[in-house]
Amino acid sequence: MAAKPRFLKAAIGFLVGLGVGGVVAWSLARPPKPGGSKTHGDDAALVKGLLAEDLSDRRFSFAAIAEACSGKMVLPLDDSEAHLRVTTAIREALVATLAEMNKEDAPVRQLRRINEASRFFEDGLLARIDAMPGLSCGIPPTRSGDHQRSGYPDLRIVDEASGAVFYLDPKLVEQNSVASTFRTFYFEPKDETLKITDDAVHLLVGIEHDGQTRRWTFTGWRLVDLSTLQVRLKAEFQASNKELYEGVKSETP
């Protein structure tokens, strides 16, 4: 019976990719309107096609999206021995890491922005979990074999007895904002730099703090199984400062 939900997730992911890809292919193959720029005509058709899909108003299964992009299954967390070993280890590592970060002389107390503290928690969890017997923890390699810190997920845990793989993504969240509708989880699939290379359990730990700038107290955490997460697609057009200002002279009053 487990194969059916997995098949459905894969099918959903395939259809999502096929639908977006079909819009792109259609827009590129469509002949330009008479008297119009072919490049602009193609771009306009693509944008209109994407807007017609209302993608920003739809919800997608993260498990289906991740599988469609990586070819790897997002496995649900369960009560098996391997899963219990890993979640117990994560909780033990969190207890020790929060105690360290709550010390008066903790390095996070010197940071101007709370987001800058994420790296300290990643490093603390990595070192503590990797030191536990029967577990290994490190930075997930990309498809090309590189180990990069940026991008989802942040940590890869292996239960050596079973070979089960777990991805863990630590995030910092103010304790009074857990009901906020601001976007705080991002997944940007790229081919060579994609870090999902295993069938794995995907976990996110939201580490709560009190919001007191440079005197943060870390109060607890929420461990989330991402196999049931629903996500939205936010399409945006963007440009860098180089693209905006290159070749344009600065003027003074």
- pLDDT value of residue 215: 85
Residue 63, H or E segment? helix 62-70
* Contacts of 51-60 spanning 24+ positions with Cβ under 8 A: 53/19, 53/20, 53/23, 55/20, 55/233, 55/235, 56/232, 56/233, 56/234, 56/235, 58/232, 58/233, 59/230, 59/231, 59/232, 60/12, 60/16, 60/230, 60/231, 60/232, 60/233
Domain ranges of the chain: 3-53, 74-231
50 CB neighbour count, 10 Å cutoff: 17
| pLDDT, tens digit, 9 for 90 and up, residues 125-144 | 999 999 999 999 999 999 88
| Residue 196 and residue 167 in contact, taking contact as beta carbons nearer than 8 Å | yes
d(CA 126, CA 139): 8
CATH number (1.10.472, 3.40.600, 2.60.40, 3.40.30) of 74-231 reads: 3.40.600
**Helix, strand, coil % (nearest 5) of the chain?**
40, 20, 40
d(CA 228, CA 230): 7
d(CA 73, CA 64): 8
* Bridge partners, residue 12, by sequence: none
Q: Which residue has the tokens 């072919």?
A: 38
Instruction: List the chain pLDDT tens, one digit each, 253 residues.
Output: 444 444 444 444 444 444 444 444 434 344 444 444 556 788 888 778 877 777 767 888 999 999 999 999 999 999 999 999 999 999 999 999 999 999 999 988 888 888 888 899 999 999 999 999 999 999 999 988 888 888 899 999 999 999 999 999 999 998 887 777 666 787 887 877 899 999 999 999 999 998 888 888 999 999 999 999 998 887 777 888 898 889 888 887 8
d(CA 221, CA 207): 4
- pLDDT value of residue 66: 94
